[in-house]
Structure 1
Amino acid sequence: MVKQERAARTRKALVQAAAEVFAQDGFVLASLTSISKKAGVSNGALHFHFESKQALARAVEDEANAVVRAIAVPAQAGGPDALQRLIDATHDLMGRLDQDVVVRAGFELGSGPPRRDGAADLRGQWQSWVEEVLKDAEREGILAEGVSAAEASITVVAATVGFEQLGADDRTWMSAATLVQFWDLLLPRLASADALGRLVSSGTQGAVSTRT
């Protein structure tokens, strides 16, 4: 059991270190030596857990993918209306991107040269989820007159993916304040008059962590 726990800690340290190196240097320039050094383990220990840099990248993306799924699951489970669930999820995602280098690196890896190792398409997954939630909003009748789920999803996906990419160099793009400004601008055009009055652009209490 002790040996298994030690192995799990080493693997976790390697994934964390790989995420930091990938986020800083990019996949192509990242070296296994840099990753093992940052993790505080030998190259041999790295290769025991991961056979290649591609395998490490896949592990980072898999962890980031799990986070995106975890954000989507409660947002799909009901509760507030669909638009509020969408607002809350964008705050959750941007908070994770801002605070968790593994999630940030997982998304950034997807913007590099294509890799043929079954890498997760995190932006594609996010796009699909946004589209489904906005279809729910359309079915609920809470979109503004003349606004379709397809049209709305283009705007929301483009903006949130843009915040994620711009946030790699300037973290204020992923801040709660930036998202609030975005939703305050978009919601009067997106939501029906009845829905608009009950929507909270800063996220509902308990749905998101406090950020600046």
Structure 2
Amino acid sequence: MTKQDRAVRTRLALIRSAAEQFEARGYVRACLAQISAGAGVSSGALHFHFANKAAVAEAVEHEAAGALRAAAGHGRDADGSALQRLVDVTHHVARLLCADVVVRAGLRLNAEEYGGRTRDLRREWRECVQGLLAEAEGRGELAAGVTPQRTSAVVLAATTGIEVLAREDQGWLTRPSLTDLWHLLLPCLAAPRLVAALDPAGSGPTASGTPVSGAAAGGAAQAEPVESGADAPGVPAQPYAVGFALR
């Protein structure tokens, strides 16, 4: 392994360790000594890669944003019903949240507004939802009297609430939880001709296709001699079968 490869592995291990600390303790209470210890490296190695805690947090948020944007982009760019793609992307990102501690921590950091924030993940999620609903309206998929503006407010409130509740109980991110939400919403939102064809459980790929951040993509992203660690306590043991709230 080259020196460059080792540096990449160390950086990713530090990002994952930082994510575990930020998710469990928040930005203010997380400390650099715990982050370096969790990655199995010295404090000097941490400071070689990151100047301070804010720089580590920015790296975690950057990794999380990339994974979330990939999931949202898949929903926007795929074929088929816009409403079904909206359902699918919520399931997709919920699966991502279950699988990836870096994404969960990135969302928490973005909500905490710890300083120097360069992105607004809440706004990006809002734009994703509004874009899919506008497309649904243009394709005649919405029921009479249903507007993208009012509908997006409901979807955003519901999905954001699920993500916040899931910080204490990951069960809120399970497939049945989101399926129940869409069972209630779709008959109110969709044109009658489409209701029976829409799948509230999601029509996306299986969990194995979930994109994850680079820092959570497996043991290869760890610094030597770090072994791959488990995600934060409370994550469901069973994989999510089929997202989302950018808070």
In the superposition, the TM-score normalised over structure 1's length comes to 0.95
Matched AA of 1:182: L
Contact 2:32 2:43 in 1 (8 A): yes
- Distance in 1 of aligned mates of 2:80 and 2:90: 14
- Distance in 2 of aligned mates of 1:153 and 1:207: 26
Contact 2:110 2:117 in 1 (8 A): no
Pair 96,140 (structure 1): closer, same or farther in 2 beyond 3 Å: same
Is the aligned partner of 1:202 residue 2:206?
Answer: no
Deviation at 1:205, TM superposition (A): 4.8
Pair 207,130 (structure 1): closer, same or farther in 2 beyond 3 Å: farther
Deviation at 1:117, TM superposition (A): 4.3
- Distance in 1 of aligned mates of 2:193 and 2:66: 35
State the partner residue of 1:122.
121
State the partner residue of 1:5.
5
Deviation at 1:80, TM superposition (A): 1.6
- Which structure ranks higher in relative contact order (CA pairs < 8 Å, sequence separation ≥ 6)? 2
State the partner residue of 2:164.
165
CA offset digits 1:44-74 (Å, max 9, x no partner): 0000001111111111111111011111222
State the partner residue of 1:150.
149
- Distance in 1 of aligned mates of 2:207 and 2:181: 16
Q: Aligned with 2:112: secondary structure?
A: coil
Relative to its length, the structure with more helix (as a share) is 1
Matched AA of 2:47: H
- Distance in 2 of aligned mates of 1:20 and 1:178: 25
State the partner residue of 1:211.
240
State the partner residue of 1:61.
61
Deviation at 1:196, TM superposition (A): 0.9
- Distance in 2 of aligned mates of 1:207 and 1:76: 18
Contact 2:92 2:204 in 1 (8 A): no
State the partner residue of 2:230.
none
Q: Which moved more, 1:72-81 or 1:43-52?
A: 72-81
Matched AA of 1:136: E
State the partner residue of 1:23.
23
CA offset digits 1:174-201 (Å, max 9, x no partner): 1111000000011000101111111011
Aligned length: 211
Structure 1's consecutive aligned runs of 4 or more residues displaced over 3 angstroms after TM superposition are 207-210
State the partner residue of 1:77.
77
- Point out where structure 1 has 5 or more consecutive residues left out of the alignment: none
Contact 1:91 1:208 in 2 (8 A): no
State the partner residue of 1:177.
176
- Distance in 1 of aligned mates of 2:12 and 2:126: 28
- Distance in 2 of aligned mates of 1:4 and 1:182: 47
Deviation at 1:116, TM superposition (A): 2.1
Q: Aligned with 1:203: secondary structure?
A: coil
In the superposition, the TM-score normalised over structure 2's length comes to 0.82
Q: Aligned with 1:159: secondary structure?
A: helix
